[in-house]
Chains A and B, each alone.
Chain A
Amino acid sequence: MLRFILRRLLISIPLLLVASVLVFTVMHLTTDPTAGLRVNPRISGADMARYRHDLGLDRSGAAQYFAWLGNFVRGNWGKSLFTNIPVSGQIREALVNSMVLGVTGFTLALLIGVTVGVIAAIRQYSVFDYLATSGAFVALSIPVFWFALILQLLFGLYLVRWLHLDQPVFFTAGMVQPGSLGFDLVDRARHLVLPAIVLAVQLIAIYSRYMRASMLEVLNSDYLRTARAKGVRERRVIVRHGMRNALIPLTTQAAIDFGGLAGGLIATEAIFQWPGMGYLFVRVMNDGDYAIALPWVMLTMAFVIVFNLVADVLYAVLDPRIRYA
C-alpha cells in the first residue's frame, strides 16, 4: 500500500508541471495584464513600455514561466502582478472561504443524501421513494445560477414582505453583514445558509441516488439474510451491516468530490458574492494575472490528486477484498 501511495504521489509531480505549463501558455496567448491600460488615452506608449518592464512582462513567455517556477519550488509564491499583494495570503483566504462553504454544503449533502437514499431503498416503490426520485431529477435539472437567484429573491424580498420581517432570516449575499467588523458566528452562519443549500441540492440528488442503488444491492444480499435469520434486529441489520457496505462506493465518490471543492464553486460564489477560490479564479483569469493563476492551479490540482488517492486508499481500507500492488 505504501509503495502504491508513493508511486501515485511521484506521478503527480510531472502532472502538476504539465498543468502549469498549459495554463501559463493559454493565459499568455489569450490574456494581457495590461489590456485595461492600453485603452486609457492618458497612458502613453512610454508609460506602457515602462510598466511592462516593471512587471517583467517584456521578457519572453518562457523566461516569465521559469522565473515563476524557480520561485515557486523554493516556496516563494510571489506577488500579484497588479496589486503587489503576496499571492499566498490571497489564495489562503480564498481557500478558507471556499472550504467553509464547501464543507458545510458537503456535510449537509451527505447527511441528507444518505438518509434519503437509505429510506428510499428500504421503502422501495413507496410514495417517499417516488418523491425522492422525482426530487433528485428536478434538483439535477435546475441550473445552479437560477436556483441561487430564486433563493435570493425568496429569502431577501418575498419572505421579508409576507412575514413583515425587519431583515431576512438568511442573508442573500456576502459573508458578513455590511459595515460589521470582527467575527460574529451567527451573522456568518446566516450568510452561509443559502449558498450552502445551493451547493448541497445537486449533491443531495447525486448521493441519494448512489445510496439508494447501493442499498438495494446490499439489502438482497446473503449476509443480510443470514443476519436476519440469526435474529438480529432490523435496524441493526440495516445500519451496521447494510449501510456500512453500501457506503463504500459513495465514500470514494464523496472523497473525489471533496477534492474538487478546492477549485471553488464559480457560479455559486459569483452570485452570493462569496470570495472563495472560484471567485478568485474568474478575477485573475480576466485580469491575466498569472502570478496568482498558476499557484491556484497547482493547489487545486494537488487537492484533486490527493483526494483521488484518498478515495483509492479508502476503498481498500473499507473493502478488505481490495489490495493494491
Chain B
Amino acid sequence: MRTSKYVRHLRWLTVVFAIALLAAACSSKSGGGGTAATPQEKKGGSVVFAAEQWPECLNPITSCANASWLVWVAWEHVMPRLMQTDPKGNFLASDLLVEAPTEQNGGIKENPFTITYKLRPEAVWDDGSQITSEDVKFTWDVIMKTTGTIGTTGYDQIKSIDTSDPKTVVITFKDVYSDWQDLFGGNNANGVVLKKAAFNGKVNLKDEMQSSYGFSGGPWKLQSFSQQQSVLVRNDKYWVKDKIPNLDQVTFVPRTDQSTEMNSLLTGEALAAYPQPSRGITKQLKAPGMKYAAGAGSSYEGLWINMDKFPFNDLKAREAFAYAMDRQAVVDAIYKADFPDLKVLNCAGWVPTVSDWCDNTAFSDISYQPDKVKSLLEGSGWSKGGDGIYAKGGKRFSVEFNTTAGNKIREDTQALLKEKAKAAGIELVIKDFPPTQLFEDKLPKRDFTLAEYAQVASPDPSVTAILAADQIPSAANGNSGQNFLGWRNAQATALMKESDKTIDHAKRRDMIQQVNKLERQDIPWVPMFQKPLLLAWHADRLTGPIGDYAPSSYGGFFNMYDWSLK
C-alpha cells in the first residue's frame, strides 16, 4: 500500500515537473523591468541630464520661446510640429504629416500660393483625441493675438487657413513665401502646434503655459516643470510606435555654472550634458565610461565690419584687412586640440552642414597673406609708418575691435588676430563690452568699427534681415533692422528678396550662391568658422544613437526617445 502511495506521488511529481519544463520552454523572454530590446539595451528606467541654461517659463509663444533650452528641455519633446529638419538641416515631414507638401503631390500651389498639409489619421494628443487642422488654425490665432508674442514674421503672410477637413490643413498666403517650412515647425522658436481644446476658447495665451502644458503630441509628456527640474515621462499614446521612448522618465536639471555641470557629469549625477564648448573641455571628458560627440553647429563666428567707418569705407582696405586675418591660426591654436575636425568657414551666411546652400568656396582664397596686404594697401596710397602700422592721409590703419566681454575664447581669438594683424601692418585695439551693451547699444546704433560675434545659419537660407540694403538701422527708422554692416549692394539685395519668394530649391541655391560671391566681392564681413557643439554622456550607462543630433539646432537630446539604459 505504502509503495503504491509513493508511486502515485511520484507520478504526480513527474507530471508537474514535465508541465513546468514545457512551460519554461514555451515562455517568451520577459523580466520585471520590461522587454530587453537588444542584449545591451534595457527598456525602462529613469535618467537625469544636465542643462547649462534654464528657461524662465514654458510658453512657446512669448519671449521665453527665444531660449534654445526651452526647446531642448521641454517643448520639442512634447509639442507636435508640421515640418522639421534632419540632423543635416534638410526639411522633411514630421511625424504629424503623411508626407511633406511638394509641387508633385499637389501640396504646393501658386496663384495663390497655397500649402496643403495632410495630417496622419492616427495622430492623437495624449488623451486620445485627434490632432486636427483646427489645432493648426488655433495656433495661428494665438501667435497673432497673444500679447508679447515673440514673432509674427511669416505668420503675418498667411491670408487664411482652411479647416473644412479635420485632417487637412490648407494655408493660403498673401504672396509667395519661401520660408513656409518654418511656420508651425522647422527651426522657428514658436514653430509648434497647440491643442485648441486645452485653452477653453482663449487665444491670448500670455498668462498660459508658465509651468505646465497639460497636453502632449510628442513622444514625451511633461510631468512637471520648476526652476529645479523638468520631468518628462513616456507618452504611450504616441502614434509612431518605434518612437515611443525606451526610458520611463527623463529629468533635466539646471547646472548653469559650467564647473558644476562638469562635476555633475563626472560624479554621475547627470548621465548626459550638452555644454558650451570651451578650451580644454574634451580633456575633462576623458574619464572612464565617458564619451562625447562633437560637430560643427549651425551658428558661425564672424568678423563684422562697419562699412561706413574709416578705414573700412574703402574696398581695398577691407580686402587687405581680410588677408591680415589669420583664421586658420585661430582654428589651429584655439579649437583644434578639442575639435580636430573644425575647419575655416568660407561661406558668408550659410554653413556646409545645413542643407546645400554653402559650397564653402566663396572666401576660400582669403588666407593670411601679409604680402597681399602690403600690395593692396601700398597700391592704394597707404604707407608703413615707423611703428610698422600703415597710414594714409595722416590716419593710421588702427581699428577698435569689439566682442563680448568675459568670453575667454573670444578674448584669446582677439589676442591672436591682433598679433598677426600687427605683423601685417594693421593695428587692432581691443575693447570689449558686456553682451547687452554690444547687442543693444553698439551694434543697433552702428557705434562700432569691427566686432566679433556669432550668427545662426538656418535651413531656410534667407539673410535679408541681416544683409539687405533696406535693413540698415538708422535714427530715421528708429534703429530697426539688423544690417549693422551698412552693406548697400542693390544687386545682392534684389537677389535676396527674389530668393525669399522662390520655392524651387535649385533656383534658390543659385541665387544664394550669387549673393555669396557678391559678399566676397565687397567683403562686408569675414566668416571665421562654425561653432562646434558637443554632447557628452556616460557610455557605460547609456546606449543608443546618442550624439546624432549633437550639431543640430534641435539640440543633442532631440532623439532621446531612442536612448536606453544599459
Contacts and interface: CB of A to CB of B under 8 A. Distances in A.
A273 B253 contact: yes
B229 A35 contact: no
Contacts of B129: none
A149 interface: yes
A178 B271 CA distance: 12
A179 B440 CA distance: 38
Given A45-B480, A172-B263, A179-B48, A82 B269 contact: no
Interface stretch (A109-117, A153-161, A255-263): A153-161
Interface in A167-202: 168, 171-176, 178-179, 181
B189 A40 contact: yes
A41 interface: yes
Interface string B242-283: 000000010101111101100110111110000000000000
Nearest to B266: A157
Interface residues of A, number: 54
Contacts of A153: 263, 266-267
Contacts of A270: 256-257, 260
Contacts of B48: 178-179
Nearest to B434: A30
Interface residues of B, number: 67
Given A42-B188, A172-B269, A51 B148 contact: yes
Interface stretch (B2-10, B61-69, B377-385, B555-563): B61-69
Interface in A255-310: 270-273, 275, 283, 286-288
Contact of B206 (A40, A50, A84, A275): A84
A37 interface: yes
A41 B466 contact: yes
Nearest to B211: A85
A273 B188 contact: no
Interface in A114-173: 149, 152-153, 156-157, 160, 168, 171-173
B56 A83 contact: yes
Interface in A37-57: 37-51, 54-55
Q: Which of B56, B64, B270, B439 counts the most chain A CB atoms within 10 A?
A: B56
A93 B211 CA distance: 15
B260 A271 contact: yes
Given A51-B63, A83-B59, A273-B255, A41 B228 contact: no
Given A156-B267, A273-B257, A38 B444 contact: yes
A84 B210 contact: yes
Chain B contact residues: helix, strand, loop or mixed: loop
B189 A83 contact: no
B113 to A, nearest CB: 19
Contacts of B30: none
A31 interface: yes
Contacts of B482: 38-39, 41
A210 to B, nearest CB: 32
B436 A288 contact: yes
Nearest to B462: A41
B249 A275 contact: no
A31 B435 CA distance: 9
A80 interface: yes
Contact of B66 (A36, A168, A275): A36
Nearest to A179: B251
B150 interface: yes
Contacts of B257: 270-271, 273
A93 to B, nearest CB: 8
B147 interface: yes
B251 A178 contact: yes
Given A83-B56, A85-B210, A156 B263 contact: yes
A42 B210 contact: no
A312 interface: no
A275 B228 contact: yes
Contacts of B224: 181
A286 B465 CA distance: 26
A261 to B, nearest CB: 20
A83 B150 CA distance: 12
A54 B147 contact: yes
Contacts of B544: none
Given A51-B63, A173-B260, A275-B228, A41 B148 contact: no
A307 B263 CA distance: 37
A157 B481 CA distance: 50
B263 A82 contact: no
Contacts of A46: 152
A39 B439 contact: yes
B266 to A, nearest CB: 6
A45 B228 CA distance: 35
B352 to A, nearest CB: 19
B127 interface: no
B253 A83 contact: no
Given A49-B480, A179-B48, A40 B151 contact: yes
A82 B57 contact: yes
A84 B263 contact: no
Nearest to B187: A42
B233 to A, nearest CB: 10
A236 B226 CA distance: 52
Contacts of B66: 36-37, 40
Contacts of A178: 48, 229, 251, 253, 269-270
Given A38-B444, A156-B269, A54 B228 contact: no
A48 B462 CA distance: 19
B46 interface: yes
Nearest to B473: A45
Interface of B: 46, 48, 56-57, 59, 62-64, 66-67, 147-154, 182, 188-189, 206-207, 210-211, 224, 227-229, 231, 249, 251, 253-257, 259-260, 263-264, 266-270, 434-437, 439-441, 444, 453, 455-456, 458, 462-463, 465-466, 477-478, 480-482
Given A42-B182, A82-B62, A178-B48, 4 more contacts: A82-B57, A82-B64, A85-B57, A152-B260
